[in-house]
Structure 1
Amino acid sequence: MGHRLIEDYLGRRARAYGGERVLLVDVVSPGSDETERMAELRSLAATAGVLVLGTVVQHQPHPHPGTFFGRGKAGEIRDLGHSLQADTLVVGSEVSPAQARNLEEATGLKVVDRSQLILDIFAQRAGTKEAALAVELAQLEYLLPRLRGWGQALTDPGAGIGTSGPGETRLEQGRRAVRHRIQVVRHELRKAAQDRAIQQARRRRAGPPEVVLVGYTNSGKSTLFNRLTGSDVLVEDKLFATLDTRVRQVAWPTGEALVTDTVGFIRDLPHELVPAFQATLGAVRDAAALLLVLDVTAPAAEDHLRVVREVIADVLGPDRVPPPTLHVLNKLDLVSTQEQEARLAALEREAVPHVVVSAKTGGNMASLLSALDSILTVRSRG
C-alpha cells in the first residue's frame, strides 16, 4: 500500500503476518454452529498465509470480560502455545483492546482477532488505489484504540522535532501519527471515490445494462463470472479471492450487457470495513439485475443468504429499491447427500426467483441465461 502502516513499527501487534505460527481460539456459546465458525476461521487463516498449529474452543455463554477466556482456559492456551512454539493467538470473535492486552499478558502470545485478520487479508489483496485506501483507513481506525504500551520503547519519553515536548511518550507520538494519517487517507479516498463515480456514470450513460454478481465469499461467483464471460480470472478456494470489481462486456441473445464480479460477503463484517465494501459494491446501486450466488453445499447456506440480503440493503440504503434479483443456486455438481438435497430444496423455497446450476461444469447455464434475458428484456421495456 505504499504507506507503511503504523503498527509495523509500533510492536507488530495489530496484524497477522504471513508465516506466523498461530493457534485458532474462540469462545462458542451453546447452540452456535461451532463447526461452521471454526472452519471459516481456519479458511481466513489460510487466506492470510499463517500456519495453524492447533485449535482451542471454550464453551460458555459469553466471553470473560477481562481476559476473554476464563483463567483456567487461558492457562491451557498458554501451555499449548509454549509447547507448540506458537507466535500468535487468532481469536474467532472481536476482542476489546483491554481483553487483548490482558490475554497477551496471561498467555505471552500476540493476540489478533477475527476483524484484524479480515482487515489484513483485505490489505494483502486490494488491487486498486481506492480499495487500498479504504482498507488502510479501516486498519488505522481499528488500530487507534488498540495502541498501547507494548514494550518499553512506547513508554519512553520521545522529545524531538514534531513532538509536543519532552514529556510526550512514543505511544502518544504514535497516536498523533495515526490520527494524521487517517485525515490524509480520508482526503485521498474522497477524491478516488469521486473519480470512480464519474467513470461509472459515464459508462452507464453510454453503455449496455449492467449485471452484477453478489454472494457470500467462496460461493463460486468468480467461476460463474468466467462461465458467463469466457474470461479466466483468478479462481481460488480461499475467502476473498476477489476484492476489486471486475467488469466484462458480453453478448446476450437480445443484445449486450456488462457483467460485474464483486467482493464476497461474510458474517459479522468489521464495521470499519463497511466503507471499503460500499466502494466496491457501488455497481449494485444502478445494476439492471443482480445475480445472487449461493453455494448450496454450504451447511450455513440459508444464513449466507440472509447475510447477503442484509449487506445489499445496507449498500442501497432505506430509500433505494433493490434491482431485480435472480438467485443462482450454485455447485449442483457437488450435491451428493440427502442432507444437501434437503438444503437445496429449502433454498429453492426461500430464494425466489432462482435457477440451479453448476458454474464449474456449465450445468443448466442455458436456464440461467434465459431467465436473465427475460429480466433484462422487461427492464429495457420499463
Structure 2
Amino acid sequence: MNEQEFIKEKAILVGCQLPHISDERFSYSMAELSALTKTADGTVISTVTQKRNRADAATYIGKGKVDELMMLCEELSADILIFNDELSPSQLKALATYLDIKIIDRTQLILDIFAKRAKTREGKLQIELAQLQYSLPRLSGQGINLSRQGGGIGTRGPGETKLETDRRHIRNRIHEINLQLATVIRHRSRYRERRKKNGVLQIALVGYTNAGKSTWFNRLTAADSFEENLLFATLDPMTRKMTLPSGYSVLLSDTVGFIQDLPTTLIAAFRSTLEEVKEADLILHMIDSSHEDYQGHEATVKRLLEELEADDIPVFTIYNKRDQKRTDFIPSSGKNHIMTSAKIDGDLPVFKQAIEEFIKKELLVSYRVKIPASEGRLLAQIKSETMIKATTFHEGCEKYEVEGYILPEQNIMGELKKFM
C-alpha cells in the first residue's frame, strides 16, 4: 500500500430510497456518490441502503439503521459517513449525537470537491460563499461533527475554525464575498459585451460531469484545461479561441460539469460560471455514449439549462466516446448531432466541420459583396469577422467579389450593405 492510499479516508455510504425514486435511478445515484467519494480522495469500504415511505424526520434513516451504522463504523474502523441526500440541520445534529464519527451529506461532498478544484480567485470566492451559506443553518450540529476529526473530506475550503465561529462573523464574510464577486461579475460582463460588440460568435461546451468536455476543449482550442477521469475535473470557466476549417474564429467556453440533484447553493454560487452558457450563441451538449445512464445525464443537463433560462439557445449534440459506446445506444437528438471520440484520429476535423455546418445553417446569413481594392481596412475586417466562402478579384473594375456568411446583428453588416 503506497502513502497516497494510506491517507485516504475510509467512507461508508448511506442511501435511502423513497417511493418516487426508481430502483435504476437509485442505483445510478449511489454509484455516482461512490465516484464523487473517489474524486474527494476517499475509499468506499461499505454501502448501506434502505427503502422507506418517507425520510425519518429526526435521523433521515430511522433508529434501527442508526444502530446498525454504529456497529458497522466500529467493525470497519470507518472515518466518515456520507449520506446520498441533503440532510437538514436537525437531522445532522441528531446523527452527530448518536454516532461518534464525522458525517457529511451529498451537498457537502460536492462542495468539498469544488473547494479542492477551484484555482482562480473567483472560483475560490464562490466556493467559500457556497460553503458558508450551507454551513450557517447547520452550525450547532457541525460543532460536534467537526471537533471529532480535523481535516479530510468535507472540511476543505473555509476550514473548520471559520465554520465554528459565530453567525455574525459568517454573515459578515458572506457580505464581503458578495461585494467582491459583484466586482468580478461586472468585469466579466463588460468583457462579454465587448466580445458581442466585436461580433465574435460564442459557443459554450456543456454536459454531465466527466462526459469528456475538457479533453475535447483541449483538442479544439489547443488549450491546457485540466482533464482527468474524475467528476468535476473542470471548475473555473475557461474561454479560448477556436478556428474552424474555413478560417472563421469563434470563442469556445468550457463549463463546470452538470450533475443530478446539483445543490441549489452551488447553482447560485456558480451563476457567473454558468452565465457563459446564457450568453452563448450556440451550445455544444456533450454526452458520454458509453455511460449506462446516458439518457438520464442528457435529461439532467436539459433540465438545468431550462433552470438557467438558456433553453432557447440552439443546441448541437455530441455523443462522445463512440469507441466505447453501449450496444443499446440510440441517439435521441434527431439530425443535429455527431458521434465522436477524442481517441480516434481523424475525428477532430470531422467534429470542427460539423460545428461549422451547423453554425452556417442555424446562426449565420449569407452575403455577397463587391468591394473596391482600395477598401483594404474593410477587406481585412471581412476576413477576420465573417466566414468567407469564396473571394474573386475582377481586374476590369478592380473589385473583390466576396461570398460568405455573417452574424445578422454584427456591426460590420451596415458597411457591407453599401456594397451589396
Alignment pair present for 1:76 and 2:65: no
1:213-292 map, 5 Å = 213-254=205-246, 255-292=248-285
Contact 1:289 1:375 in 2 (8 A): no
**Map of 2:23 onto structure 1:** 32
> Which residue identity lines up with residue 349 of structure 1 in the other structure?
S
**Map of 1:332 onto structure 2:** 322
> Which residue identity lines up with residue 302 of structure 1 in the other structure?
Q
Contact 2:96 2:144 in 1 (8 A): no
Superposition deviation, residue 368 in structure 1: 2.8
Contact 1:26 1:93 in 2 (8 A): yes
Distance (whole Å) between structure 2 residues aligned to residue 311 and residue 284 of structure 1: 11
Distance (whole Å) between structure 2 residues aligned to residue 40 and residue 153 of structure 1: 25
**Map of 1:373 onto structure 2:** 356
Change (3 A) 1:94 1:173: closer
1:51-130 map, 5 Å = 51-130=43-122
Superposition deviation, residue 365 in structure 1: 4.1
CA RMSD of aligned residues (A): 2.4
**Which stretch shifts more, 87-96 or 360-369?**
360-369
**Map of 1:349 onto structure 2:** 332
Secondary structure at the aligned position of 1:373 is classed as: helix
Considering Cα pairs closer than 8 Å and 6+ residues apart, tell me whether 1 or 2 has the greater RCO.
Answer: 1
**Map of 1:5 onto structure 2:** none
Distance (whole Å) between structure 1 residues aligned to residue 263 and residue 221 of structure 2: 32
Contact 2:102 2:146 in 1 (8 A): no
Secondary structure at the aligned position of 2:229 is classed as: coil
**Map of 2:373 onto structure 1:** none
Distance (whole Å) between structure 1 residues aligned to residue 100 and residue 343 of structure 2: 46
Could you give the per-residue CA deviations for residues 195-228 of structure 1, whole angstroms, max 9, x where no partner exists? Answer: 1111222233336312211000001111111222
Distance (whole Å) between structure 1 residues aligned to residue 306 and residue 199 of structure 2: 26
Percent identity over paired residues: 37
Change (3 A) 1:152 1:367: closer
> Which residue identity lines up with residue 277 of structure 1 in the other structure?
F
Superposition deviation, residue 151 in structure 1: 5.0
What is the TM-score when the length of structure 1 is the normalising length?
0.82
> Which residue identity lines up with residue 259 of structure 1 in the other structure?
L
Q: How many residues were matched structurally?
A: 340
Change (3 A) 1:107 1:191: same
Alignment pair present for 1:21 and 2:10: yes
> Which residue identity lines up with residue 203 of structure 2 in the other structure?
V
Distance (whole Å) between structure 2 residues aligned to residue 212 and residue 172 of structure 1: 39
Could you give the per-residue CA deviations for residues 19-68 of structure 1, whole angstroms, max 9, x where no partner exists? Answer: 43321111123523233111100111111122322211112232211111
Distance (whole Å) between structure 2 residues aligned to residue 71 and residue 62 of structure 1: 14
Could you give the per-residue CA deviations for residues 164-223 of structure 1, whole angstroms, max 9, x where no partner exists? Answer: xxxxxx999611111111111111111111111112222333363122110000011111
5+ residue gaps in structure 2? 1-6, 148-161, 366-407, 409-420
**Which stretch shifts more, 79-88 or 112-121?**
79-88
**Map of 2:298 onto structure 1:** 305
**Map of 1:157 onto structure 2:** none
Superposition deviation, residue 312 in structure 1: 1.5
Distance (whole Å) between structure 1 residues aligned to residue 14 and residue 274 of structure 2: 32
**Map of 1:159 onto structure 2:** none
Distance (whole Å) between structure 2 residues aligned to residue 303 and residue 363 of structure 1: 29
**Which stretch shifts more, 121-130 or 29-38?**
29-38
5+ residue gaps in structure 1? 1-17, 155-169
Distance (whole Å) between structure 2 residues aligned to residue 330 and residue 172 of structure 1: 44
Change (3 A) 1:125 1:151: closer
Superposition deviation, residue 112 in structure 1: 0.3
Change (3 A) 1:27 1:172: closer
Secondary structure at the aligned position of 1:375 is classed as: helix
Change (3 A) 1:153 1:126: closer
**Which stretch shifts more, 244-253 or 39-48?**
244-253
Which of 161, 182, 192 in structure 2 is aligned with 1:200? Answer: 192
Contact 2:10 2:43 in 1 (8 A): yes
Superposition deviation, residue 109 in structure 1: 1.8
What is the TM-score when the length of structure 2 is the normalising length?
0.75
Contact 2:237 2:254 in 1 (8 A): yes
Distance (whole Å) between structure 1 residues aligned to residue 62 and residue 109 of structure 2: 23
> Which residue identity lines up with residue 63 of structure 1 in the other structure?
A
Contact 1:130 1:193 in 2 (8 A): no
Larger radius of gyration: 2
> Which residue identity lines up with residue 321 of structure 2 in the other structure?
K
